[in-house]
Amino acid sequence: MSRIVDISNKNLADASHLFNCSIFKVEDQLYLAYRANQSYLDAKIYINKLNNTTYQPMGKPKPLNIPNTTTTAAAGWEDPRMFWYAGELYCAFVFIRAGFTAQAQGLAKLDKNFNVTRVWFLNYKRNLNSSTIDTTRIMDPRGFITTAGAGSHFEKNWQFFQHGEELLFVYGSSPHTVAAADLLQSKVKQEYVSKVALPWSLGEIRGGTPPVDLGDKYITFFHSSAKRDSDYRIYHIGAYTFEKTPPFNPIEISEVPLLSGDETDDYRGMWKNVVVFPCGALKLDEKWLVSYGHNDYCSKLLSITHEEVLANLTKINHAKPKQRRNKRRKGIQPCSGTGDSQEKQEGRSPLA
């Protein structure tokens, strides 16, 4: 049966908002990367060791030393998504430019002590442009060559994963788009666009957790949001699977949300939305731990069996995909806590 695990703030970073977390594993030890905000525009990323049984934080928080890689002032780094590629640990993160004039999707490689050794901003869509960087200059922001471009650009929620020897990422869901990264040139070398639509009626499907290899397909846990009234949006978590060969067509999608935001919770963080925002998913034997941000405020885990996740998936009709009315899932109580360029224009929370 599924259950919600509240992550205690004890031993986490000293900040009022600790959310949008990504659970990951190094050898046999669990860790949690998360976003820490004291106010709107001061986001930082930290990592804590977790107790392998209780999933509660232990030890001291380790700040992720991502330097400012742009020619303009930084407001923060947020929404970590941890994944492994070629035997090394990476963190996908979102860069916020001062004044919230732009968001960009970044990528950092970490050493065994969680120190940042290299940073990229892939030249793709509306993202910042950058060169790869010499690790001897990592701590000197002047050693990074980037251009922010003109206008207000918003790119975030790219979901990276290893496919054979390649590094791919899911860019968007409509249409379902997967891109192959060339880290040497800091660009995308191939783009795969599926013609198969993802049927979901509770708002646009957005990333999301790094896809996990299930052997015959990949699975990712996504979020969506729909306006509840004029004051706020309610978020949902679902899952979908997709093929392991180009163009990576979607195969199945949740019939109903695995989890929805709790409208009875009086505290709704900085933006008043009812949020469940997944950034990490770890399969431990026949159980999933999906880490998510709750109401732009704190971190939680959805513990759910693999059987339950699969039972909630429905096959996607490749011939004539139809939009379907989704209902909240019975048997799971709502929790008691986006390549997305349209959030700001649509009035969506920049924090999620």
Fold observed for domain 3-344 = Tachylectin-2; Chain A (2.115.10)
Helix (H) or strand (E) holding 232: none
**What are 278-303's pLDDT values in tens digits?**
999 999 999 999 999 999 999 999 99
**Which residues, 6+ apart, have CB-to-CB distance to 246 below 8 Å?**
178, 192
Euclidean distance between CA atoms 242 and 251, whole angstroms: 5
pLDDT score for 200: 97
Euclidean distance between CA atoms 109 and 112, whole angstroms: 10
Neighbours of 17 (CB within 10 A): 24
pLDDT score for 227: 87
Between 243 and 123, the higher pLDDT residue: 243
Residue % of the chain over a pLDDT of 90: 62
pLDDT higher than threshold 90 for residue 192: yes
* CA nearest to 342, candidates 250, 225, 191, 178: 225
Handedness of CA 211, 244, 288, 257 (dihedral sign): positive
How confident is residue 273, by pLDDT bands cut at 50, 70 and 90? confident
Average pLDDT over residues 54-64: 97
pLDDT score for 69: 57
How confident is residue 315, by pLDDT bands cut at 50, 70 and 90? very high
Q: Compute, in degrees rounded to 10, the torsion defined by CA atoms 145, 148, 153, 158.
A: 0
How confident is residue 132, by pLDDT bands cut at 50, 70 and 90? very low
Domains of the chain: which residue ranges?
Answer: 3-344
pLDDT higher than threshold 80 for residue 333: no
* CA nearest to 34, candidates 52, 5, 56, 61: 61
**What are 203-233's pLDDT values in tens digits?**
999 999 999 999 999 999 999 999 877 678 9
